Amino acid sequence: MENKNFKATIEVSRSPQEVFTCITNDVAKWWGGKDLEGSSKKLNDEFIIHHPGAHYSKQKLVEVVPGKKITWLVTDSTLHWLKKDQHEWANTKMIFEIVAKGDKTVLHFEHEGLVPGKECYAMCEQGWNMVIKDWLFNFITYDKPHFKL
């Protein structure tokens, strides 16, 4: 039976290696912004995203297969807007699987542990859908931020 983790899939006109590079080299550009500190390139690298009063998460790269797969383990987190358990992201994993499809590439994103029973699920589902399908997609495809005034 399929698990209930949040998942999002995008298909891009780039090579698997290019997709891999976007996800490892430039997390700040499509997700964390200037509030990102640390590194996200190699196994055991760690990075923190901290928006004071809103979001704190610390990620560790626990699996890195060049051109194919990246897994981040959230080792600590505080989502300030949660009422019951602000640390719901702790010990969850963000998994990126990259698969070639003809001259395109399919990226499967899964947030393991982000399941409908969690208080944060509905809001984070909406959020990840934008971050992955808009921001990451545009960043991989056009190599520039999604937002242009």
Partner 1 sequence: MATKNYKPVIYSTAIELPGSQTEVFDRLIDLKKWWPEDFEGEDIKLHSEFVFTTGDSHYSKNKVIEFVPGKKLSWLVVESLRKTDGYDWTGTKMIFALTSKGDHTMLQFHYDGVVPENELERLDRVCDMTVKEMFYNYIVNGKGK
Positions in the binding site for partner 1 (CB under 8 A): 28, 31-36, 49, 51, 53-55, 57, 79-83, 123-124, 126-128, 130-131, 134-135, 146-147, 149
Question: What is the C-alpha to C-alpha distance for residues 91 and 42, in angstroms, rounded to an integer?
Answer: 19
Would you say 18 or 119 has its CB closer to partner 1? Answer: 119
Would you say 16 or 49 has its CB closer to partner 1? Answer: 49
For the chain, give the number of residues: 149
Would you say 70 or 105 has its CB closer to partner 1? Answer: 70
Please report the sign of the dihedral spanned by the C-alpha atoms of residue 129, residue 27, residue 95, residue 48: negative
* Least Å from the CB of residue 107 to partner 1: 18
Write out the two tokens for 126. Answer: 């909406």
Which DSSP string corresponds to 16-47? Answer: HHHHHHHHHH-HIIIIIGGGEEE--SSTT-EE
* Least Å from the CB of residue 41 to partner 1: 19
* Least Å from the CB of residue 42 to partner 1: 22
Shortest CA distance to 14 belongs to which of 137, 145, 146, 147?
A: 137
Would you say 112 or 134 has its CB closer to partner 1? Answer: 134
Residues linked to residue 25 through DSSP beta bridges, in sequence order: none
* Least Å from the CB of residue 39 to partner 1: 16
